[in-house]
Amino acid sequence: MNNEVTGSGQPDVVIYVVSDSAGDTGELVVRAAIAQFHPVRYDIRRTSFIQDEGAIERVIKLAKQYHAIILYTLVIPHLRECISRMSKENGVVAIDLLGPLIDSLEKKIGRPSRHEPGLNHVLDADYFRKVEAVEFAVRYDDAKDTSGVNKADIVLVGVSRTSKTPLSMYLAHRKFKVANVPLVPEIKPPDELFTIPKKKIIGLTIGTHYLNVIRKERLKALGLPDSASYATTERIERELAYAGDIMKRIGCVVIDVSHRAVEETASLIMEHIRQ
């Protein structure tokens, strides 16, 4: 079970993503929906590879305990029936993402579905491209190796805490090879940024107040005082001005991520790259 809490304090909503496969589809749908309520504190708990009624019963009990919503992507009929019945018996909200569509397709096509979990994860060329892109994003994260700037489909630049790494991973799952480079006044930016086509580079900026709040929360999470220079307004303004100057020199597109979910920013980036 994977847990992710976004935002400080107790979550406003807990969502269990239940699947007889990996659960990627359900989690993507949850993230797309939760983005409509940004900012919000949420906790996505993924329960993957469900194979029996006992596992479903355990999830139902947890969902009831935490007043959570369940979103399930079960293709095995008796498991769908089980979670539907148990959720009703326990007063838990459970949403069937695939069942109604599978039923409609069976009627339209005129034959039953295969009822095999994980068929959309068949090891085809697309799958391997995605794996390669994810490995690329990890290797060239945070300018650990600046040679990735030349090899990347997309290069993200910006100050610390502008979602460079989450965006890199999200875009990697869309099969884009992404390198990201932090812009810090004390560190000279890689020369490669000024030699590759500027259309490949995306500058990320953010409002001073918004970044101040994010950095203070980050310091608290690390057990450090929020008065550290990393989160001061003066330091943030200096970094943003420096990053802005670099982006102007490059001549790249700049996106303000202040009140945008990762999914929304990624959509803007992909639209720009495809154009």
Strand pairing category for 42-47 and 2-6: antiparallel
In this structure, how many other beta carbons lie within 10 angstroms of the beta carbon of residue 132? 13
* Cβ neighbourhood burial of 3 (10 Å; 0-12, 13-18, 19+): exposed
Structure tokens at 160: 């610390």
Instruction: Report which of 29, 14, 111, 97 is spatially closest to residue 59, judged by C-alpha positions.
Output: 14
Go through 40-75 and write b for each residue having 16 or more CB atoms within 10 A of its CB, e for each that does not: eebbbbbbbebeeeebbeebbebbeebebbbbbbbb
160 labeled part of a ligand binding site: yes
In this structure, how many other beta carbons lie within 10 angstroms of the beta carbon of residue 96? 18
158 labeled part of a ligand binding site: yes
Residue 53 phi/psi, 5-degree rounding, is -70, -30
164 labeled part of a ligand binding site: yes
**Which residues lie across from 4 on neighbouring strands?**
44
84 labeled part of a ligand binding site: no
203 labeled part of a ligand binding site: no
Q: What is the dihedral of CA 121, 36, 202, 188, to 10 degrees?
A: -100
Instruction: Report which of 61, 69, 62 is spatially closest to residue 37, judged by C-alpha positions.
Output: 69
165 labeled part of a ligand binding site: yes
**Binding-site sequence positions:** 158-165
**Binding-site sequence positions for ADP:** 158-165
